[in-house]
């Protein structure tokens, strides 16, 4: 009996060892028998049946079979998703993806449909003619230029004259504008011509200085006279512009504009200078017939817009930058009454301008009946002129005896002009008129 007890404990010990044996099945199909000694997240250390120790990477292990479940020897494995669950998850994700793609496609098709409708409604093909009349103000650069020349002559010479006219440089006018406008889908072509005419009264003072020799001469005689007279002006402007719409829209249309601009101005005056004869016998009374004109040409670039609202109303506008240049001239035929019967004096000025500025047009239209509409339009163009060059035209009858003209030639007008008087070309008006459209 004493001998049987040890044998029984030995049998239990070996039975326990057999129960602790594990089978390692690799993905390659190999099988290994042994006991798990240790493991981490990447590998498993196994003591094989022959007593050797081997380390297996978890990435090559397919399955571990345990002879006896033991908490200490159980191989910790990452949670595994069954093939069925994985397939269900993939099908669900695919369904959600297809649903989102369908919604995106539907939204895209909706936007595309709306855009196609906008393009269809924005299509246009028509010719529109309009005419408007109104009033405003206009100004050219010639009066300030002439006055500066005279002032220079009086300052730097012993003899000469200077005029200070009290009437403003801007002249009231009556204006009219004719316009042809052709639209074809994204493109527009516009031809616009404006003419403004005005009359003004000449008023002011004239200072005359008689003398000889240089500026230090004391033999001078001065008198101040009253200026009387009248004049008329004509301002003509012609524009041809092309517009392009990058993003057509049936309600709000924005355009890029570019064009060619031309301006002509002409002013004629009859100026009478009236005053008493001086103590030395000088007669300051005289009559002058003057004519000034200029011609500017260049280009314009800017933006335009057209906003349609409440079915019958339209607001249009243009904002443009203008860059122009051109010649100007001044001619004066003066009849002086200080000799018997009179003395004739003729001189002129010729010069070149560089002009840059802006033009802004705003037009409000309302449909009356069919293709006929009435409009109100406001426009403002302002150019700042910079003198490029200038010279004095000599008297054909033997030289110019007016010291102010000779001195102006010597002292360079292009320096004096910016210092004394600002030079601008301005056209402003408000007009009412009618549009008629021919749809194709």
DSSP string, 203-254: EEEEEEEE--SSTT----EEEEEEEEEEEEEEEEEEEEEEEE-SS--SSEEE
How far apart, in whole angstroms, are the C-alpha atoms of residue 351 and residue 295? Answer: 11
Half-sphere exposure of 435 (CA within 13 A, CB side): 27
How far apart, in whole angstroms, are the C-alpha atoms of residue 367 and residue 373? Answer: 4
Q: 2 or 31: whose pLDDT is higher?
A: 31
Q: 49 or 198: whose pLDDT is higher?
A: 198
Give me the residues paired with residue 429 across strands.
Answer: 136, 379
- Examine the pLDDT at 418 and tell me if it is beyond 80: no
Angle between helices 403-411 and 413-420 (to 10 degrees): 100
Task: Please report the pLDDT score of residue 419 as a whole number.
Answer: 54
- Examine the pLDDT at 292 and tell me if it is beyond 60: yes
**What is the separation of C-alpha 290 from the centre of its chain, rounded to a whole number of angstroms?**
41
- Examine the pLDDT at 131 and tell me if it is beyond 90: yes
| Token pair in block for residue 16 | 């326990």
Local structure of 162: helix, strand or coil: strand
Q: What is the DSSP letter of 394?
A: P
- Examine the pLDDT at 17 and tell me if it is beyond 80: no
Confidence of residue 242 (pLDDT cuts 50, 70, 90): very high
Task: Please report the pLDDT score of residue 83 as a whole number.
Answer: 79
Contacts 24+ apart (CB under 8 A), 410-415: 411/152, 411/156, 413/145, 413/148, 413/149, 413/152, 413/349, 413/351, 413/387, 414/387, 414/388, 414/389, 414/390
Among 273-287, 335-349, 378-392, 423-437, the range scoring the smallest mean pLDDT is 335-349
- Examine the pLDDT at 147 and tell me if it is beyond 80: no
- Examine the pLDDT at 306 and tell me if it is beyond 90: yes
Task: Please report the pLDDT score of residue 261 as a whole number.
Answer: 98
Query: What are 169-180's pLDDT values in tens digits?
Result: 789 999 999 999
* Residue keyed to tokens 């993003």: 247
Task: Please report the pLDDT score of residue 361 as a whole number.
Answer: 97
What is the enclosing helix (H) or strand (E) of 63?
strand 61-66
Share of the chain above pLDDT 70, in %: 79
Query: What are 36-93's pLDDT values in tens digits?
Result: 778 887 788 888 877 788 888 878 887 777 665 444 444 445 555 677 788 888 888 8
Q: How far is CA 103 from CA 22, 92, 96, in A?
A: 54, 17, 11
Task: Please report the pLDDT score of residue 287 as a whole number.
Answer: 92
How far apart, in whole angstroms, are the C-alpha atoms of residue 251 and residue 23? Answer: 80
- Examine the pLDDT at 244 and tell me if it is beyond 70: yes
Q: What average pLDDT does this structure show over 212-225?
A: 63
Task: Please report the pLDDT score of residue 182 as a whole number.
Answer: 97
Confidence of residue 154 (pLDDT cuts 50, 70, 90): confident
- Examine the pLDDT at 307 and tell me if it is beyond 70: yes
Q: What is the sign of the dihedral through the CA atoms of 129, 133, 139 and 142?
A: positive
Prediction pTM value? 0.70
φ/ψ of residue 166, rounded to 5: -80, -15
Task: Please report the pLDDT score of residue 403 as a whole number.
Answer: 45
- Examine the pLDDT at 385 and tell me if it is beyond 60: yes
Q: What is the mean pLDDT of the chain?
A: 81
- Examine the pLDDT at 214 and tell me if it is beyond 60: no
How far apart, in whole angstroms, are the C-alpha atoms of residue 56 and residue 280? Answer: 133
Among 75-79, 199-203, 342-346, the range scoring the smallest mean pLDDT is 75-79
Query: What are 177-195's pLDDT values in tens digits?
Result: 999 999 999 999 999 999 9
Local structure of 337: helix, strand or coil: coil
How far apart, in whole angstroms, are the C-alpha atoms of residue 132 and residue 4? Answer: 134
């Amino acid at each position: 009996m004493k001998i049987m007890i040890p044998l029984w404990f030995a049998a239990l010990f070996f039975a326990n060892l057999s129960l602790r044996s594990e089978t390692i099945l690799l993905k390659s199909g190999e099988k290994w028998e042994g006991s798990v000694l240790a493991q981490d997240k990447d590998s498993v250390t196994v003591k094989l049946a022959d007593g050797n120790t081997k380390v297996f990477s978890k990435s090559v292990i397919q399955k571990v079979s345990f002879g006896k479940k033991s908490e200490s020897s159980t191989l910790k494995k990452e949670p595994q998703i069954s093939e069925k669950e994985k397939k269900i998850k993939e099908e669900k994700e695919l369904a959600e993806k297809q649903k989102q793609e369908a919604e995106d496609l539907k939204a895209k098709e909706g936007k595309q449909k709306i855009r196609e409708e906008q393009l269809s409604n924005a299509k246009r093909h028509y010719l529109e003619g309009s005419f408007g009349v109104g009033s405003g103000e206009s100004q050219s650069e010639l009066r300030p230029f002439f006055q500066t020349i005279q002032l220079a002559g009086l300052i730097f010479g012993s003899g000469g004259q200077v005029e200070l006219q009290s009437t403003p440089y801007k002249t009231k006018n009556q204006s009219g504008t004719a316009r042809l406008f052709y639209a074809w889908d994204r493109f527009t072509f516009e031809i616009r011509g404006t003419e403004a005419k005005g009359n003004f009264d000449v008023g002011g003072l004239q200072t005359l200085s008689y003398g000889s020799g240089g500026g230090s001469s004391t033999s001078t005689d001065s008198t101040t006279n009253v200026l009387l007279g009248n004049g008329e002006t004509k301002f003509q402007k012609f524009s041809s512009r092309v517009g392009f719409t990058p993003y057509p829209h049936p309600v709000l249309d924005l355009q890029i504009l570019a064009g060619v601009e031309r301006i002509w101005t002409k002013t004629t005056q009859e100026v009478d200078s009236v005053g008493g004869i001086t103590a030395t016998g000088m007669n300051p009374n005289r009559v002058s017939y003057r004519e000034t004109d200029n011609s500017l040409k260049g280009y314009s670039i800017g933006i335009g817009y057209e906003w349609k609202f409440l079915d019958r109303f339209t607001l249009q506008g243009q904002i443009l930058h203008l860059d122009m240049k051109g010649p100007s001239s001044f001619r004066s035929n003066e009849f002086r009454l200080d000799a018997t019967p009179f003395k004739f004096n003729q001189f002129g000025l010729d010069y070149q301008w560089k002009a840059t500025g802006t033009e802004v047009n705003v037009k409000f239209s309302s449909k009356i009946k069919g293709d006929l509409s009435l409009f109100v339009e406001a426009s403002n163009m302002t150019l700042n002129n910079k003198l490029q060059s200038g010279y004095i035209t000599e008297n054909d009858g033997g030289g110019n005896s007016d010291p102010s003209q000779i001195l102006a030639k010597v002292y360079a007008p292009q320096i004096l002009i910016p210092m004394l008087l600002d030079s601008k070309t301005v056209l402003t008006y408000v007009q009412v008129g009618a549009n008629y459209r021919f749809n194709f």
